[in-house]
A and B are shown apart, each in its own frame.
Chain A
Amino acid sequence: MSDIFSKNNLLFILDGLKLTVFLSVATILLSLFFGTLFAIIRNYAKDKLLPLAKLTGAYIEFFRCTPNILWIFFFRFIIPGNVIAKEIFAFTLFTSAIMAEIIRGGLNGIQKGQFEAAESQGFPFFKTMLYVILPQTYKQIIPSVLSQMITVIKDTAYLKAVDIAELSRNTDIVMGKAITAAEIMSLFALLAAIYFVICFILSVSVRTYQKKVMAAG
């Protein structure tokens, strides 16, 4: 029992946790950026740019209707290069589609008067977005983005299928050294507990934030 929780094993699991956190944060930040871009294109591209809006819409719908694990495998084999970079790409492509819809929901919730007011002040489209619309949108979608963050953290566990040294893959390897059922069970408990603590803190903050917003009216 004490062997399996040796310092080396624990440090190895901790290394996995670090990579899990890095992958999740990178994915969320990149998806926020690209999701914003896609949401704006899908919502506001008109006339000559209409085909672009349609194309973005098709991308969003297709990725929303396919599992993340599919893209994890696909990009693992299709493109050359660093495995971690490839998987961040796969995760970003998948999460950006969902993020775009979250952001679009936020954009549609902004009152029309905000656009008109910015326009009347001579703001061009780009500046209206950057200074008037997006700040309000982001504030509204904080809970949804945090929920998505939970999903991304949980989904990184899929990456053990392509042998990326994240939390569950590293714990798997330690499990391979375990002998007794008690050891296996304690490792499962540890693994679940680590994910739980991170995700639970995030979900509690989602709810606290929502209550605060609701109380403020």
Chain B
Amino acid sequence: MSKLFDARRWLRLIGDFDQFLLGMKTTLLVALLGLLIALGLGLILGILSCVKLYGFRLLARIYVEFFQNTPLVVQVFFYSFGLPFLGIRLPDFMVGVVGVGLYHAAYIAEVIRSGIEAVAKGQVEAAKSQGFHSMQTMRYIILPQSLKVILPPLTNQAMNLVKNTSVLSMIAGMDIMYYAKSWAGNNGFFYQGYLTAGLLYFLLCFPLARLTAKLENKARQLPTVTTLRMMEVDS
């Protein structure tokens, strides 16, 4: 415990804090770009899971099952260590972006799919009776309503994505976790290094956790859709 409250160690941390900020920058950039990929690909896959054509549904299904049921660590390790054997070399930063992007796209696809399915069937029939074709039904009737139920699990996914960027530390990816680990290891100041990293992740994730809780309360008040049981679409 004396190690935890050693002022000298905390002062050293403050002196070296720019390293942690560098890590924070990488983590934020990887999270943002990864989220873009995850949202884009997730939306496409989620819609494909709901179309009539069996081939598309199967394709989306295979993607989702594969990426959800294998560890992110294995996927990321494949991009950084396996792909070069096939002649493809990605910089560590891109490994992080692609890694969390493709992984969370699977979860977001599931969120979108259950969101679309949550909109009452009567809504689709009503739209059809008004002469909407399927693209229009999707664009004007289903997606706007789904949006409200899928927002809470989406923000929850964003939080998980931020946490999962820490996988970068396993391939020396210069993120928060990487700098914390090397700083703590070099100085032997484990409490200071890891607790500071914990605080930084907390600062990034806690607002998202609060937002999720708030949106969940809001979604419960919707009439035409059943709310998603979000724990089951968690990562």
Contact = CB atoms under 8 A, between A and B. Distances in A.
Contact of B231 (A66, A147, A172, A203): A147
A158 B75 CA distance: 12
A192 B70 contact: yes
Interface size class of A (residues with CB under 8 A): 35 or more
Given A65-B202, A69-B169, A154 B231 contact: no
A155 B71 contact: yes
Contacts of A155: 71
A33 interface: no
B205 interface: yes
A196 B65 CA distance: 8
Contact of A102 (B202, B209, B231): B231
Interface size class of B (residues with CB under 8 A): 35 or more
Interface string B152-193: 000000010001101101100000010011001000001100
B73 A160 contact: yes
A150 B107 CA distance: 13
Given A74-B194, A184-B85, A185-B82, A65 B74 contact: no
Interface in A175-217: 175, 181, 184-185, 188, 191-192, 195-196, 199-200, 203, 206, 210
Given A66-B205, A73-B194, A188-B78, A203 B70 contact: no
B68 interface: yes
A70 B163 CA distance: 10
Interface in A71-89: 73-74, 77-78
B66 interface: yes
A105 B78 CA distance: 37
Contacts of B66: 192, 196
B72 A154 contact: yes
Contacts of B177: 67, 69-70, 73
B232 A168 contact: no
16 contacts: A65-B202, A66-B205, A67-B177, A69-B166, A69-B169, A69-B177, A70-B198, A144-B232, A154-B73, A157-B74, A181-B86, A184-B81, A192-B66, A195-B70, A196-B65, A210-B232
Interface of A: 61-62, 64-70, 73-74, 77-78, 102, 105, 141, 143-144, 147-148, 150-151, 153-158, 160-161, 168, 172, 175, 181, 184-185, 188, 191-192, 195-196, 199-200, 203, 206, 210
